[in-house]
């Protein structure tokens, strides 16, 4: 676009007013703003003792979990949609023939490398049966890299741990239960 | 008496030096913590509140933080890059710290102690390392100029473009602001009739009118110039992180960096001392500490407390200002120094000179009450007028309006007059 383009709207900088030229009124204004923040309530918390408020757990993207269905079986049908959608390639699924009559496959092993994960939430969006979900757990630590590769049991245990505080998202969002 | 034993004045001076240096170093360490707290609170954070007594779980609101900070920076690698000028590189932090500490030889850190006959001190003992120094103010300003050498040497010896630019900026800024600083100071010296800082405090205590009220213009000029001299925001161009990495101490690490940072903090403390002593009445506070000799320990402690409280308040103001204003641009900085602060300082000096010159005549003609009222009214009138003139007449900066007269970019165009 050329500077002469008629569609450009040139904005004029407002000339300084008397208060601005004298500087002192603005000086007081700036000082009161800082002084107000000095005593205002703080937004940070003393972390390990005090948990930060997660705004909306429904849309927060924390540690993954694998949901269970009503019969306590893993909901996953090993369709590989999450692994395909994953931009970080952190999901590794080994599928096997399902022992149950209502589905063809189930995940024999389901691993998520939490260190590779970028917590984008694509797996959750891709999942057709709402088996994989992101919880609002935000402090994920471990002492080794191996420990941070979550297998099926661990992901199911995350579900057991969080199911009371955070019910399955699909029920409230009107998805397939 | 044994000739090898030091004399009493020597011992007293050594004790004072020990107290002052120890106190200053501790104060500098704890002021870093205060600064971090202020920074955090202004940004709605909690700030450092974990480190307490070492090896225990006692937290004490983070009061152990200075120790941890100091230990950390001392244990860091003291790395000397290969491309630096080794001698100057090592000398720079020493020069700057030595100069900033030596300044305090002439700065009183209280009023005086009452006589202590048990120790052989028969007169009152001034809380000042070099009490006989008649050129106290000159000493302070000479040494604060030498501290500039530390910055310059550091910037030059680093052989690094950021360090060099920081040193350059610093030299230009400090030279420019020495002048308004000196002009603000001259008014005080003129009014007090002495170059001794304790005499300046005494003069304010005797009259009960602090020089900030008697010379408002000089106070503002001195305040702004001392912010610039201490290289605090909004005048921290020599070490503007966003532009210059670290400025003159970019190449420094470990204990040498620590020396630089401590010296920088001491500059701020010095500036606070000078502001309080010269303009805010020093140890004087109406109704709490009167003028006159120090006879009891209560008076001595009260005066010390008042002075310390004032200095702490001024330092808090320094820190609050840091989070209130963005940095000046370099041309704005120079405009402010040469086109605003220098004329205002001169106007203040002339006003003070006129007030002091005609005070006897006015007192003789109209009485002491009128003379005192006029001596306050004239400087305040000059302050208002001078401030208005400075605000309305001086350019507030460079013109930032975009140039609209560009021809089309794809054809060759002639030079257009802007």
> Rounded CA gap, A141 and A175, in Å?
31
Phi, psi of A14 (to 5 degrees): -65, 130
Q: What is the pTM of this model?
A: 0.81
Spell out which residues of chain A touch residue B320, defining contact as CB-CB under 8 Å: 31, 34-35, 38
Do the Cβ atoms of A10 and B404 come within 8 Å?
yes
Spell out which residues of chain B touch residue A47, defining contact as CB-CB under 8 Å: none
pLDDT band at B142 (very low <50, low <70, confident <90, very high): confident
Residue A41 lies in a domain: no
Residue B284: other Cβ atoms inside 10 A: 25
pLDDT at A87 over 70: yes
Using only the alpha carbons of chain B, give its radius of gyration: 24
Spell out which residues of chain A touch residue B407, defining contact as CB-CB under 8 Å: 4
Mean pLDDT: which of B73-82, B159-168, B219-228, B233-242 is highest?
Answer: B219-228
B25 exposure class (CB count in 10 Å sphere: 0-12, 13-18, 19+): middle
Residue pair B394/B340 in contact (Cβ under 8 Å)? The answer is yes
Q: From the candidates B216, B391, B413, which should be mutated to test the interface with A, based on the most A CB atoms within 10 A? A: B391
Compute the residue count for chain B: 418
User: Containing domain of residue A139, as a range?
Assistant: 64-169
- Token code pair at residue B394: 């001086």
Do the Cβ atoms of A13 and B400 come within 8 Å?
yes
- The whole-number average pLDDT for the span B135-160 is 85
pLDDT at B148 over 50: yes
> Rounded CA gap, A105 and A98, in Å?
4
State whether residue A133 is helix, strand or coil.
Answer: strand
Domain count across chain A:
1
> CA B83: distance to chain centroid?
34
Q: How far apart are the first and last CA of chain B?
A: 84
- Token code pair at residue A3: 């500077």
Share of chain B above pLDDT 70, in %: 93
pLDDT at position A110: 92
Residue pair B103/B285 in contact (Cβ under 8 Å)? The answer is no
Residue A95 lies in a domain: yes
Compute the residue count for chain A: 177
B408 at A interface, C-beta within 8 A? yes
> Which chain A residue shows the shortest CA-CA distance from B403?
A3
Do the Cβ atoms of B324 and A33 come within 8 Å?
yes
pLDDT at position A174: 45
Residue pair A112/A65 in contact (Cβ under 8 Å)? The answer is no
pLDDT at position B3: 65
- Largest Cα separation within chain B, whole Å, is 96
- Measure A25 CA to nearest chain B CA, in Å: 12
pLDDT at position B403: 63
B325 at A interface, C-beta within 8 A? yes
pLDDT at position A175: 43
- Token code pair at residue A96: 């096997």
State whether residue B60 is helix, strand or coil.
Answer: helix
Q: Rounding to the nearest 10 degrees, give the CA dihedral for residues B300, B301, B307, B313.
A: -170
Tens of pLDDT, residue by residue over B82-131, are 888 888 888 889 988 898 888 888 888 877 777 777 777 777 777 777 77
Q: From the candidates B37, B324, B407, which should be mutated to test the interface with A, based on the most A CB atoms within 10 A? A: B324
Spell out which residues of chain A touch residue B324, defining contact as CB-CB under 8 Å: 30-31, 33-34
Do the Cβ atoms of B41 and A4 come within 8 Å?
no
Residue A163 lies in a domain: yes
Using only the alpha carbons of chain A, give its radius of gyration: 26
Phi, psi of B380 (to 5 degrees): -70, -40
Residue B355: other Cβ atoms inside 10 A: 22
Tens of pLDDT, residue by residue over B321-334, are 888 888 888 888 88
Residue A137 lies in a domain: yes
Residue A175 lies in a domain: no
Residue A140 lies in a domain: yes
A44 at B interface, C-beta within 8 A? yes
> Which chain A residue shows the shortest CA-CA distance from B325?
A30
pLDDT at position A7: 87
Enumerate residues 20 to 79 of chain B having a beta carbon within 8 A of any beta carbon in chain A: 38, 41-46, 49
* Residue (of A136, A126, A115, A127) closest to A64 by Cα position: A136
- Token code pair at residue B383: 């302050």
Residue A46 lies in a domain: no
B388 at A interface, C-beta within 8 A? yes
Selected residue with higher pLDDT from A13 and B389: B389
Spell out which residues of chain A touch residue B325, defining contact as CB-CB under 8 Å: 30
Question: β-strands A132-134, B112-113: how paired?
Answer: unpaired
- Measure B66 CA to nearest chain A CA, in Å: 20
pLDDT at position B221: 92
pLDDT at B298 over 90: no
Residue A23 lies in a domain: no
Q: From the candidates A21, A24, A32, A39, which should be mutated to test the interface with B, based on the most B CB atoms within 10 A? A: A21
pLDDT at position B219: 92
Residue B112: other Cβ atoms inside 10 A: 21
- Token code pair at residue B18: 């020990």
Q: From the candidates A17, A29, A38, which should be mutated to test the interface with B, based on the most B CB atoms within 10 A? A: A38
A24 at B interface, C-beta within 8 A? yes
Selected residue with higher pLDDT from B3 and B84: B84
Spell out which residues of chain B touch residue A26, defining contact as CB-CB under 8 Å: none
- The whole-number average pLDDT for the span B293-307 is 82
pLDDT band at B276 (very low <50, low <70, confident <90, very high): very high
* Residue (of B147, B149, B388, B171) closest to B268 by Cα position: B147
pLDDT at position B404: 62
- Largest Cα separation within chain A, whole Å, is 82
Q: From the candidates A1, A2, A3, which should be mutated to test the interface with B, based on the most B CB atoms within 10 A? A: A3
pLDDT at position A176: 41
pLDDT at A84 over 90: yes
> Rounded CA gap, A50 and A34, in Å?
26
- Measure B181 CA to nearest chain A CA, in Å: 20
Spell out which residues of chain A touch residue B392, defining contact as CB-CB under 8 Å: 18, 21
Sequence-distant (6+) residues with CB within 8 A of B349 are B183, B186, B187, B190, B218
- Measure B344 CA to nearest chain A CA, in Å: 14
> Which chain A residue shows the shortest CA-CA distance from B321?
A31
Sign of CA dihedral A22, A26, A31, A32: positive
The CATH number covering residue A113 comes to 3.30.70.3270
pLDDT at position A82: 92
Do the Cβ atoms of B44 and A30 come within 8 Å?
no
pLDDT at B156 over 50: yes
pLDDT at position A177: 40
pLDDT band at B398 (very low <50, low <70, confident <90, very high): low
Share of chain B above pLDDT 90, in %: 10
pLDDT at position B346: 92
Mean pLDDT score of chain B = 83
Residue pair B197/B277 in contact (Cβ under 8 Å)? The answer is yes
pLDDT at B300 over 90: no
pLDDT at B365 over 60: yes
């Amino acid at each position: 676009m050329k500077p002469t383009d008629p569609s450009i709207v040139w904005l004029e900088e407002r000339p300084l007013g008397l208060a601005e030229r004298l500087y002192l009124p603005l000086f007081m204004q700036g000082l009161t703003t800082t002084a107000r923040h000095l005593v205002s309530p703080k937004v940070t918390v003393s972390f390990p003792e005090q948990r930060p408020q997660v705004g909306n757990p429904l849309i927060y993207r924390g540690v993954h979990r694998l949901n269970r269905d009503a019969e306590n079986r893993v909901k996953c049908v090993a369709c590989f949609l999450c692994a395909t959608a994953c931009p970080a390639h952190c999901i590794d699924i080994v599928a096997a023939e399902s022992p149950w009559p209502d589905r063809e496959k189930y995940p024999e092993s389901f691993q998520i490398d939490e260190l590779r994960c970028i917590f984008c939430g694509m797996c959750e969006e891709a999942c057709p049966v709402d088996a994989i979900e992101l919880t609002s757990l935000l402090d994920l630590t471990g002492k080794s890299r191996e420990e941070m590769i979550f297998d099926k049991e661990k992901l199911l245990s995350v579900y057991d741990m969080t199911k009371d505080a955070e019910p399955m998202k699909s029920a409230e969002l009107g998805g397939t239960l | 008496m044994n000739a090898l034993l030091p004399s009493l004045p020597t011992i007293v001076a050594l004790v004072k030096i020990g107290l002052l240096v120890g106190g200053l170093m501790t104060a500098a360490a704890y002021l870093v913590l205060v600064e971090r707290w202020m920074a955090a609170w202004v940004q709605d954070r909690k700030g450092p509140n974990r480190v307490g007594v070492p090896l225990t779980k006692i937290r004490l609101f983070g009061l152990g933080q200075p120790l941890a900070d100091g230990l950390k920076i001392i244990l860091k690698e003291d790395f000397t890059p290969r491309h630096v000028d080794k001698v100057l590189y090592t000398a720079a932090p020493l020069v700057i710290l030595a100069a900033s500490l030596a300044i305090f030889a002439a700065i009183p850190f209280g009023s005086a102690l009452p006589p202590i006959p048990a120790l052989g001190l028969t007169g009152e003992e001034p809380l000042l390392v070099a009490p006989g120094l008649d050129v106290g103010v000159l000493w302070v300003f000479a040494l604060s100029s030498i501290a500039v050498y530390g910055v310059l040497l550091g910037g030059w010896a680093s052989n690094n473009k950021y360090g060099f630019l920081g040193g350059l900026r610093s030299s230009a800024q400090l030279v420019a602001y020495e002048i308004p600083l000196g002009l603000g100071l001259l008014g005080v010296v003129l009014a007090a009739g002495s170059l001794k800082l304790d005499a300046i405090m005494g003069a304010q205590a005797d009259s009960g009118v602090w020089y900030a009220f008697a010379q408002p213009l000089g106070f503002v000029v001195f305040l702004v110039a001392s912010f610039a001299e201490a290289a605090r925001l909004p005048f921290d161009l020599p070490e503007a992180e966003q532009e210059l990495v670290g400025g003159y101490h970019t190449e420094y690490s470990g204990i040498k960096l620590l020396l630089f940072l401590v010296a920088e903090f001491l500059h701020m403390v010095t500036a606070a001392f000078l502001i309080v002593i010269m303009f805010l009445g020093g140890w004087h506070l109406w109704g709490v500490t009167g003028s006159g000799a120090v006879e009891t320990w209560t008076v001595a402690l009260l005066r010390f407390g008042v002075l310390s409280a004032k200095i702490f308040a001024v330092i808090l103001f320094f820190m609050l200002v840091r989070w209130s204003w963005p940095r000046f641009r370099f041309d704005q900085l120079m405009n402010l120094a040469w086109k605003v602060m220098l004329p205002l300082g001169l106007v203040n000096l002339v006003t003070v000179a006129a007030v002091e010159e005609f005070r006897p005549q006015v007192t003789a003609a109209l009485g002491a009450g009128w003379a005192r009222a006029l001596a306050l009214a004239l400087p305040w009138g000059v302050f208002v007028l001078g401030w208005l003139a400075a605000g309305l007449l001086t350019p507030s900066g460079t013109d930032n309006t975009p140039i609209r007269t560009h021809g089309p970019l794809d054809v060759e165009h002639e030079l257009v007059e802007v």
